[in-house]
Chain A
Amino acid sequence: MINTKNLRFSYGKDTDFYFPDITARSGESLLITGGSGKGKTTLLHLLGGLLRPQSGEIIIQDTNITALSEKKLDLFRGRNIGLVLQQSYFVASLNVIENVALSSWLATGNLKTEKAKQLLGQLGVDGHLHKIPSQLSVGQQQRVSIARALINEPKLLLADEPTSSLDDENAFMVADMLEALARQYGSALVLVTHDQRLKDRFPNQITLS
């Protein structure tokens, strides 16, 4: 589960974001919406430990990640936070299964190849295990990156515009998979999007303004 208190972040003097407190329990989904420039991605990066807030607290499970040192934060992020982005990035020279398993190695030191295979199977891309990611379609790539985000069974699953570049069919499929898998692994799912299709799909919403 995750909750935040009094988060504030500023890019210099002009843009100052004060974020509402958010809470999502294990297995729950929370959709964050808002127009451009309202700080959606900034909030997501704060939650993911990619940015540090000027003030406030982010507590994931029992850890206040704003207080962690850089090195500990890297490790914490690897173990407890899964991230799915609008566009999928991979280590271009590694194949699909290696890319997914790599995340388990970076977080825990073990290559969980079997787990990766099982997850990719659940996401319906187990026919492409030994392909280079760039050989896959965008929808398939997105599913591989979901598998990668989930391989360490994170406490928090973050998704930044996960469906924006997908067609309707793929968008709903990805949204369903995210929700189902987050529930299965007990992760709190936080989605950031301006995708109208998702706004109708997830009842639990916060709008930034």
Chain B
Amino acid sequence: MITRIAWKNIWFKPLNTALSIILLTASVAIITLLILLQEQFEKKFNDNIEGIDMVLGAQGSPLQLILSSVYQVDAPTGNIDYAEAKKWMNHPFVQTAIPLAFGDNYRGYRIVGTTPDYLAKYGAEVVKGKIFSRNFEVVVGSEIAAKLGLKIGDKFFGSHGDAEEGELHDEHAYIVAGIASPTGKVVDNLILSNVQSVWAMHDHEHTAGGTEEEGHQHSHDHDHDHESHDAHTEEGHSHDHNHDHDHAHDHQEGEAAHGHDHGHAEETVINEEGKEITAVLIKFRSKMGIVTWPRLIPQNTKMQAASPILEINRLFSLFGIGLQALQYMAYGIMIISGISIFIALYNTLKERKYEFALLRVSGASRFQLLALVLLESLLLCVIGFFFGTIVGRIALGFISGSSEDEFKMSFNPWEFVWEKEGYLFVLTIFVGILAAVIPAVKAYSLNISKTLANA
């Protein structure tokens, strides 16, 4: 009944009430939004760097390298020489090294040349179809498959670069070989192929681009391969991309070792010599690598080694300042809403003291009056908190929509961060109690006789 009176009372002054609720809603909404954003952002960022101790890539901004190669959000810093990278990938410190080669995109989704290890690293399994094994076969991330409705056996053409509007590579179609399981990590929004596909796609482009010179270029290639062949006979993995030429070559030299290679050469096999990749994700066996590589790599190569944790912490601390400023603002609004509740209660106290005296005369105890005033404030706070959590989530929904379009990064507005939101609720209630404590004590200690006698 006291609650009912409190409820009726707060709606008896709708403007005061609306002001208090709007202020509370605004502050709770901002704080809720920040809590959810920070939580999910950090979780997404930290999930994705799990198992990556270091990233090898072209020199430039280390943060850019991390963003582009780990989170797939920024443009790559450039390419690195595969042969050079390979030396370091086979370094004794290294446990696993996953090469990444960026080239194309399909409708804005990146097509990344890599190894099946990449899927395994993110805990993604191929749930439909199979892993890519031939050139131009791709495994599609779960979200892309769902959004674009891709099925096993579908073919599509990639566009060059990051932009959807990039030049179309319509010489070779990619074939969907498999669809990956959802992981909640970047891999969901990627199309994965082997590294050779990326090379083949772009090699082809180069030769196709110079159609008039084709004959000339080929003859040039012949010469080149003739020369280099002798140097690489023992290695046996030196392939040429031109079958016919290889045949001729084999016959000429009559070497058995090349007959073995011949079996592989069913598909387009590409010489790794002079090929480039974009980055290598490294997991170290020895933590020594984490300490020494950031200096060792730039000293000895044209590459850089960047630590994802270091760079991400730097990034967090950068926009942490912005988040903190927003947070202070939200707390400021909460204080203002507390003051607004206080003023509303305090102002009406003068006209309401007769009402309170009357309630006492009718048998209400001091404590019931105290409770009445406190409840009015708390009701406002609970309503404000309720709307605030909803509005904050709606805002996150909008942000998620735009970040999804821009960065392929979505947030879940319906996640509850119980602990932090619990604290926020307690804080809101505390503000409510604080705002009401003086008016409530005044109501509690009201002298009925004096109040009624002076009427």
Q: Which residues of A contact B (CB under 8 A)?
A: 41-42, 45, 48, 50-51, 70-71, 74-75, 77-79, 83, 85-87, 89-94, 102-103, 105-107, 111, 148, 152, 160
CB nearest neighbor in A for B448: A50
A92 close to B12 (CB less than 8 A): yes
By a CB distance below 8 angstroms, the chain A residues around B448 are 50
Q: Mark B220-250, 1 if CB is under 8 A from A, else 0.
A: 0000000000000000000000000000000
Known: A92-B12, A93-B8, A103-B363. A85 touches B355 (CB 8 A): no
Q: Among residues 318 to 372 in chain B, which have CB atoms less than 8 Å away from a CB atom of chain A? A: 351-352, 354-355, 357-366, 368
With A45-B449, A45-B452, A50-B449 as contacts: A102 and B8 at CB distance below 8 Å: no
**Distance between Cα atoms of A72 and B371 in the complex (Å):** 18
Tell yes or no: B403 within 8 A of A by CB: no
Which residues of B sit under 8 angstroms from A89, Cβ to Cβ?
Answer: 354-355, 357-358
28 A-B pairs with C-beta separation under 8 A: A42-B453, A45-B449, A45-B453, A48-B361, A50-B449, A51-B449, A70-B366, A74-B360, A74-B363, A74-B365, A74-B366, A75-B365, A77-B361, A78-B363, A78-B364, A85-B452, A86-B455, A89-B354, A89-B355, A90-B358, A91-B5, A91-B8, A91-B9, A92-B352, A94-B5, A102-B359, A106-B368, A152-B363
B430 / chain A contacts, CB cutoff of 8 Å: none
- The verdict on B1 contacting chain A, using a C-beta distance below 8 Å, is yes
Q: Contact at A91–B358, with CB atoms within 8 Å?
A: yes
Given A41-B453, A74-B364, are A106 and B359 neighbors across the interface (CB < 8 Å)? Answer: yes
A85 to B455 Cα, complex, angstroms:
10
Residues of chain B within 8 A (CB-CB) of A74 are 360, 363-366
- B358: chain A residues at CB < 8 Å are 89-91
Q: Is B414's beta carbon under 8 Å from chain A?
A: no
Nearest opposing residue in chain A for B358, CB measure = A89
Chain B residue contacts of A106, Cβ below 8 A: 359, 362-364, 368
Asked whether, in the complex, the Cβ of A93 is within 8 Å of the Cβ of B357, the reply is: no
In the assembled complex, the Cα of A108 lies from the Cα of B449 at a distance in Å of 23
In the bound complex, CA of A79 to CA of B362 (Å): 8
A138 CA to B364 CA, complexed, in Å: 25
Q: Which residues of A contact B449 (CB under 8 A)?
A: 45, 50-51
Partner of B452, one of A50, A70, A105: A50
CB distance from A48 to the nearest CB of B (A): 7
A-B contact count, CB below 8 Å?
Answer: 73
Instruction: Give which listed residue, B1, B12, B363, contacts A79 with CB less than 8 A.
Output: B363
Nearest Cβ in chain A — how far from B306, in angstroms?
Answer: 64
Residue of A nearest to B368 (CB): A106
| Complex Cα spacing A85 to B8, Å | 24
Q: Is there contact, CB below 8 Å, between B361 and A111?
A: no
| Residues of chain A lying within 8 A (CB to CB) of residue B453 | 41-42, 45
Cβ-closest chain A residue relative to B360 = A74
Known: A77-B361, A92-B351, A92-B352. 13 other contacts (CB 8 A): A50-B449, A74-B360, A74-B364, A78-B362, A79-B363, A89-B355, A90-B358, A91-B359, A92-B355, A102-B5, A102-B362, A106-B359, A106-B363
Q: Residues of B contacting A86 with CB < 8 Å?
A: 455
Interchain CA distance A111-B1 in the complex, whole Å: 9
A83–B355 contact, CB under 8 A?
A: no
> B359: which A residues are within 8 A, CB to CB?
91, 102, 106
| Chain A neighbourhood of B416, CB < 8 A | none
Cβ–Cβ contact B1 & A71, under 8 A:
no
A-chain residues with CB within 8 Å of residue B354 when the two chains form the complex: 89
* 10 interchain residue pairs of minimum CB distance: A78-B363, A93-B12, A106-B363, A93-B8, A50-B449, A89-B354, A103-B362, A107-B363, A89-B358, A45-B449
B186 to chain A, nearest CB (A): 56
- Name which residue of chain A comes closest to B354, CB basis: A89
Specify which chain A residues have a CB less than 8 angstroms from the CB of B363 in the assembled complex.
74-75, 77-79, 103, 106-107, 152
Determine whether B398 belongs to the interface, using a CB cutoff of 8 Å to chain A: no
Indicate with 1 or 0, residue by residue over B5-36, a CB within 8 angstroms of chain A CB atoms: 10011011000000000000000000000000
Given the known inter-chain contacts A89-B355, A93-B11, please indicate yes or no for A107 contacting B361, CB distance below 8 A: no
CA separation between A4 and B351, bound complex, in Å? 34
Q: How far is the CA of A86 from the CA of B455 in the complex (A)?
A: 9
Q: From B355, B365, B455, give the contact of A90 (CB < 8 A).
A: B355
Q: Would you give the shortest CB distance from B245 to chain A, in whole angstroms?
A: 95
Contact pick for B362, options A45, A71, A87, A148, CB 8 Å: A148
Q: Which of B12, B351, B362 has the most CB of A within 10 A?
A: B362
What B residues does A45 contact at CB under 8 A? 449, 452-453
Contacts of B1 in A (CB 8 A): 102, 105, 111
B361 close to A83 (CB less than 8 A): yes
**Distance, CA A48 to CA B448, complexed state (A):** 11
* Bound CA–CA A45/B1 (angstroms): 27
How long is the Cα–Cα vector from A77 to B362 in the complex, in angstroms? 7
Closest to A111 in B: B1
Residues of A within 8 A of B362 (CB): 78, 102-103, 106-107, 148
CB-defined contacts of B361 to chain A, threshold 8 Å: 48, 50, 77, 83
State the CA gap A77–B364 with chains docked (Å). Answer: 9
Interface residues of B in 413-455 (CB under 8 A from A): 448-449, 452-453, 455
Chain A minimum-CB-distance residue to B9: A93
Chain A nearest CB: distance from B8 CB in Å?
4
Which residues of B in the span 50-76 have a Cβ within 8 Å of any Cβ on A?
none
Which A residues are CB-close (under 8 A) to B366? 70, 74
